[in-house]
Structure 1
């Protein structure tokens, strides 16, 4: 079955047109050279392409052409040539996304926010569906959304083009407590993606070595603690036998000796616990 375009093209009063609540990018630098050039072009040649709107209660909503609309409004036009089409919220958002991507007017983080709204906030579909609608790969969409997990410093540098999208994505594989330092190094040392990966790999290898040392050390100290606890149990058993000695003087001397041994074993056990908790932990961090 063919899909027929049932759109109507006609001039609409400017006062009847309003921005869409789903507009993915409302920010327009009206003092910028790009916007001024657009105003000049429309002033000299007219509006070469009508804006796309959809009918809503009490007027029309802009679907595509927000910059053109603002340019015409700055020229104090009373009417604007419009293409009127019935569209759902989802269709409206998809058209706006596609238009901004094609014009390359998005920053990476703006794109990420727009993708997240489509997939998570609005629940209009998954990554696969969105990728198909905007003619991008699933990897492209998912990677953009991942950028929102960056720490604030990295986001700021990305917005200022101090680091690239590829470099930013590599930061996501760095532990959160090391991301700020890595972000600084990427900018200061002009690290490439390959260099960042090498640094990450080296850190992982070092961590694995430390984990192995830690496991071995804990294994030894656990065995030591167990041996001391077993010795305490045996000392207690022998001390109980000492109470059966018939001679009071000898019994007292033996019991006192056994209690002294028991105290020394407790001291050794306490030292082992301290060694595990403090000394061993400190050395493994070096």
Structure 2
């Protein structure tokens, strides 16, 4: 084992890979999470070509080391049959600190399983006496985002299993709305299956309008299939053709009305309005 530069609390070393165990405190529980876009084989190939650009993080145990951060990198290096792996060895980590380090390292990775992330956030909350502000400061996440993730832990186990990396991070807002809308876990599952296939915006809208009624969900799903909830976000006035058409229609109507109005004050107001409309064109 090669020992590298040492600083108070940690040192950079080459660790015998056979003496490393994945810690129970590692927040990334789902080994398959994140492999849809970048498989372990792809990562191993990249490391073989470029080297390991970011060392894993471990802490010393009585025998060997405990992996805190870098689970996929560690597994990829094992695939390559590396004997040793560059690692930052931390000697200053308590269990709670190890969880925090693992979470902070992974929390901003889009591919982390959202249930893993939610569980880790809950552990941090327990560590900080349910002080959301402290957790927000420690992780750099907003309060609403933290609350949204924690809320998905109220989902039934069957749904938690369905929350894959592919759809989870993108649909946490919908899952939060599902938990808020239905108290019965069986109804949560039924509603989830009914709205599957729609975009998150449509799903959230269906759940909002359902008022917690499954029969209402059925009606709204039918409307969604008919395109009732189709939305178009305009980034500016010129981005949406219908806005310019609407402005022209209003302007023409004001011109016609102007001819029939006798009151001078109202005419002045109409002129101001038309001028403002003209600036929008």
Task: Please give the TM-score of this superposition, normalised by the length of structure 1.
Answer: 0.59
Larger CA deviation: 100-109 vs 134-143: 100-109
Of 44, 58, 61 in structure 2, the residue corresponding to residue 56 of structure 1 is 61
**2:209 is the counterpart of 1:198:** yes
Corresponding residue SS for 1:103: coil
Q: Distance in 2 between matches of 1:105 and 1:139?
A: 20
1:144 to 2:149 alignment: yes
SS in 2 for 1:52: strand
Q: Which runs of 5+ in 2 are unaligned?
A: 1-6, 215-281
Aligned equivalent of 2:82, options 68, 72, 77: 77
Which residue of 186, 209, 227 maps to 2:195?
186
**Is residue 14 of structure 2 the alignment partner of residue 7 of structure 1?**
no
Bigger relative contact order, structure 1 or 2 (CA pairs below 8 A, ≥6 apart): 2
| Uncovered stretches (5+) of structure 1, i.e. residues with no partner | 204-286
The 1:184/1:98 distance shift into structure 2, 3 A limit, reads: same
Matched, 1:168 2:158: no
Q: Which residue of 2 aligns with 1:25?
A: 28
Q: 149-158 or 84-93: which moved more?
A: 149-158
Alpha carbons of structure 1 residues 78 and 119: separation in structure 2 relative to 1, 3 Å? same
Q: 1:103 aligns with which of 106, 109, 130?
A: 109
Give, in angstroms, the shift of residue 94 of structure 1: 0.8
8 Å contact kept, 1:158–1:168? no
Question: Residues 30 and 116 of structure 2 are in contact (CA less than 8 Å); yes or no, is this contact kept in structure 1?
Answer: no
Q: CA deviation at 1:201?
A: 8.2
1:115 counterpart residue number: 121
CA shift, 1:186, in A, is: 2.4
Matches of 2:198 and 2:77 in 1, distance apart? 47
1:39 CA displacement: 0.9
- When the two chains are superposed, the root-mean-square deviation of aligned CA atoms in Å is 3.1
Larger Cα Rg: Structure 1 or Structure 2? 1
SS of the aligned residue for 1:25 comes to coil
1:83–1:201 CA distance, 2 compared to 1 (3 A): closer
Structure with the higher fraction of residues in helix conformation: 1
Q: What's the TM-score, normalizing by structure 2?
A: 0.60
Report the Cα offset of residue 80 of structure 1: 1.6
| Change in 2 beyond 3 A, CA 1:73/1:129 | same
Q: Is the 2:59–2:66 Cα contact (8 Å) retained in structure 1? A: yes
- CA shift for structure 1 position 153: 5.2
Which of 87, 90, 100 does residue 94 from structure 1 map onto? 100
Number of aligned pairs?
198
Distance of aligned partners of 1:146 and 1:13 in 2 relative to their CA distance in 1, 3 Å threshold:
same
The one of 16, 19, 23 aligned to 1:16:
19
| Structure 2 Cα separation of the partners of residues 9 and 75 of structure 1 | 21
SS at match of 1:164: helix
Query: Corresponding residue for 2:246?
Result: none
CA apart distance, 1:55 = 1.5
1:267: which partner in 2?
none
